[in-house]
A and B are shown apart, each in its own frame.
Chain A
Amino acid sequence: MSMLDVRNVTKQFGSLVAVDGVSMQVAAGELRAIIGPNGAGKTTFFNMISGFFAPTAGDIVFDGTTVTKLAVTERVAMGMARTFQITEIFPELTVRENIRVGVESALGLRQKFWLTAAHKAQVNRGIDEALTLTNLTASADRYVGELSHGDQRAAEIATALTLKPRLLLLDEPTAGMGEHETFAVANLIRRLHRNSAYTIVLIEHDMRVVFNLADKITVLGEGKMLAEGTPAEIAANPVVQAAYLGSAE
């Protein structure tokens, strides 16, 4: 059974059909990339999966449960986490405190007025784990707002990882980054996928990242699905080449 099963979803904003009947199945442990030209509906598609807004039509099934109409917080509780195209973090808190908020939320402690010693130890373990996974241990006590763009992104991914998500959604994880930072974030995603078997769906513009990381690629264009397949299949697909390079006619 697939971890994520998107069935024929459509999103209409007034007369604009942003996403038009797209389906996608992602297996557990898979790394799926969604690509497409600007305005293809990638982020809209993502927003429906993560619960930012509901689709006009169609269904989203997450690990066997239909989540189409569930709120963001309910999907998070089921194990869905995401990051954003423009990094969303707590800028005036340190990296450690950013991650702490996630760990305490994931452990169901966010409403507590005090913690037992056992809970404190559990929280600290969770923080250290996320720091280690994302190589942020050295900057743990710096304010996130002071970090480089790449490290801010890593911190955002770290807070998402505290939820121990069964599905991790990354919206353009390398957007606006230089060579070096892109490489670092791509490596982080590769580690999460290869070593920790996370199921990841990402939107990405950098084709080197996409073709190096993805197990399968879904191509969107003008709200419709143009193609789906392995990186090799997609690279050879004439429809995709036309969408990216302009048709020969």
Chain B
Amino acid sequence: MNTATTTTTVPMSTTPARPWLTGVIIWALLLSAPIWLPMLGGYTALAGRVLVLGLAAMSFNLLLGFTGVMSFGHAAYFGLGAYGAGLTLKYLAASTPLAILGGVLLGGGLGTLFGLLISQRRGVYFAMVTVAFGQIAFYITYSWDSLTGGYDGLRGFARAPLNLGFTTIDITNNSTAFYYFLLIVFGVVTGLQALLLASPFGRTLVAIRENERRARFLGIPIERHIWMSFSISCCFTALAGAMYALLNNFADPMGLHYSLSGEIVIMTVMGGMRAFWGPLIGAALFVVLQDYISSMTVNWMSFVGMIFVLVVLFFPRGLLGMLQRGVGK
């Protein structure tokens, strides 16, 4: 037997030649978005949507791309985060930071508890129970009229100005100011995610993705690490949901619906799940397609579906994975 036939695994290296280059380009585009976006006929709130959904997809990707575990119910934590923020603003305190905290506690907390129950499951079983939990959360939110506003969604709250002690920043009416507030939160969270992935803990997660059996026989307690990864992913996703409620001053049950879970998966895979910034690229493409095509046809989703199929067929690494590989050559 020769070596050519016995080498069965084909590596899919995704380390680009200049790993910092993608980050620099993305940050330049994000920082200058309020300047160039209106010139192209966009509006700042569109960039806000990209940031929020990109953050949700990147948080989801900690699980899918970097732990190798598929959740089909991440909208639940996104939606719960939105309701957590909305309910905090409406009933507890007119404070934007507290609203974000409320969202993270509700979505992240329930995700952490739920993760404890399911970290023993794998593959399809794991994905199915995450769908089930998502639908439970959706129907509870949908039915609990008196608290959540039911089908009509939660209204009657608004993001509060940021009080920094020495000065107050008005993010309530000034959409550019709110965009930069979003961008700061986005920067802090993605910075934390990058640190996490570069840490021993992050390497442990990738090891689980790569080969669970080998990881276990190196002494890694797989279930505990999958649970921790799930919990962290849910907390960040809930934070994205809280930002979504602040962006729209509104939270609705469709934010928990499984169709959004599917969209998060589509964004992530389309952008590239092995690339750190991949899900953000996927979210940007998704939001732009949604905005432009939905003004022409109600069947915009079939176009997104077609593009998704083309990307998966021809660029299995996703758009960013493909671009980084092209530049790296």
Residues of chain A touching chain B, judged by Cβ–Cβ distance below 8 Å, are: 50, 72-73, 76-77, 81-82, 84, 88-93, 97, 100-102, 104-106, 109-115, 143-150, 152, 156, 159-160, 162-163, 176-178, 181
Q: Decide yes or no whether B204 CB sits under 8 A from chain A.
A: yes
Are A104's CB and B6's CB within 8 A? no
Q: Which of A88, A100, A102, A110 has the most CB of B within 10 A?
A: A110
- In the docked arrangement, what's the CA distance between A76 and B217, Å? 7
A72-B217, A101-B218, A145-B11 known; 14 new pairs, CB 8 Å cut-off, are A73-B219, A81-B217, A81-B218, A89-B211, A90-B214, A93-B210, A101-B215, A111-B200, A113-B196, A143-B13, A144-B9, A152-B9, A156-B214, A163-B219
Contact of A104 among B7, B203, B213 (CB under 8 A): B203
Q: Decide yes or no whether B206 CB sits under 8 A from chain A.
A: yes
Are A84's CB and B213's CB within 8 A? yes
Are A92's CB and B210's CB within 8 A? yes
- In the docked arrangement, what's the CA distance between A67 and B246, Å? 55
B210 to chain A, nearest CB (A): 4
Q: Which of A89, A111, A112 has the most CB of B within 10 A?
A: A111
Chain B, residues 245-265, CB within 8 Å of chain A (1/0): the string is: 000000000000000000000
Given contacts A105-B204, A106-B219, A114-B199, contact A145 B213 (CB under 8 A): no
B312 to chain A, nearest CB (A): 19
CB neighbours (8 Å) of A97 from chain B are 203
From residue 86 to 103 of chain B, which have CB atoms closer than 8 A to chain A?
A: none
Q: Which of A89, A105, A146, A176 has the most CB of B within 10 A?
A: A105
From residue 178 to 201 of chain B, which have CB atoms closer than 8 A to chain A?
A: 195-196, 199-201
CB neighbours (8 Å) of A92 from chain B are 11-14, 210
B119 to chain A, nearest CB (A): 14
Q: Decide yes or no whether B220 CB sits under 8 A from chain A.
A: yes
Contact of B200 among A84, A115, A160 (CB under 8 A): A115
Given contacts A82-B217, A143-B13, contact A149 B6 (CB under 8 A): yes
B181 to chain A, nearest CB (A): 26
Residues of chain B touching chain A, judged by Cβ–Cβ distance below 8 Å, are: 1-3, 6-7, 9-14, 195-196, 199-201, 203-204, 206-207, 210-211, 213-221, 225, 228
B275 to chain A, nearest CB (A): 13
- In the docked arrangement, what's the CA distance between A177 and B210, Å? 24
- Offer 16 A-B interface pairs, CB within 8 angstroms, sorted by A: A50-B217, A72-B217, A84-B213, A90-B207, A91-B11, A101-B215, A104-B203, A104-B204, A109-B200, A111-B200, A113-B199, A144-B9, A146-B7, A147-B7, A156-B214, A162-B218
Given contacts A90-B207, A92-B12, A110-B200, contact A105 B218 (CB under 8 A): yes
- In the docked arrangement, what's the CA distance between A176 and B3, Å? 9
Are B2's CB and A72's CB within 8 A? no
Q: Which of B9, B215, B218 has the most CB of A within 10 A?
A: B218
CB neighbours (8 Å) of B225 from chain A are 110-111
Q: Which of A81, A88, A144, A159 has the most CB of B within 10 A?
A: A88
- In the docked arrangement, what's the CA distance between A195 and B181, Å? 61
CB neighbours (8 Å) of A91 from chain B are 9-11, 210-211
CB neighbours (8 Å) of A89 from chain B are 210-211, 214
B26 to chain A, nearest CB (A): 23
B143 to chain A, nearest CB (A): 40
Are B1's CB and A177's CB within 8 A? yes
Contact of A88 among B3, B6, B201, B211 (CB under 8 A): B211
9 closest A-B pairs by CB: A145-B11, A76-B219, A90-B210, A143-B11, A149-B6, A91-B9, A145-B9, A88-B214, A148-B3
A212 to chain B, nearest CB (A): 21
Are A112's CB and B200's CB within 8 A? yes
CB neighbours (8 Å) of B217 from chain A are 50, 72, 76, 81-82, 88, 160
Are A76's CB and B203's CB within 8 A? no
CB neighbours (8 Å) of A72 from chain B are 216-217
B209 to chain A, nearest CB (A): 9
CB neighbours (8 Å) of A113 from chain B are 195-196, 199-201
CB neighbours (8 Å) of B204 from chain A are 101, 104-105, 110-111
CB neighbours (8 Å) of A114 from chain B are 195, 199
Which chain B residue lies CB-closest to A115?
B200
- In the docked arrangement, what's the CA distance between A158 and B7, Å? 18
- In the docked arrangement, what's the CA distance between A50 and B216, Å? 11
Given contacts A84-B213, A149-B3, A176-B1, contact A111 B201 (CB under 8 A): yes
CB neighbours (8 Å) of B6 from chain A are 148-149, 176-177
- In the docked arrangement, what's the CA distance between A83 and B51, Å? 45
- In the docked arrangement, what's the CA distance between A71 and B268, Å? 35
Are A73's CB and B221's CB within 8 A? yes
- In the docked arrangement, what's the CA distance between A73 and B195, Å? 27
- In the docked arrangement, what's the CA distance between A143 and B201, Å? 21
- In the docked arrangement, what's the CA distance between A104 and B223, Å? 18
- In the docked arrangement, what's the CA distance between A165 and B6, Å? 28
CB neighbours (8 Å) of B201 from chain A are 110-113
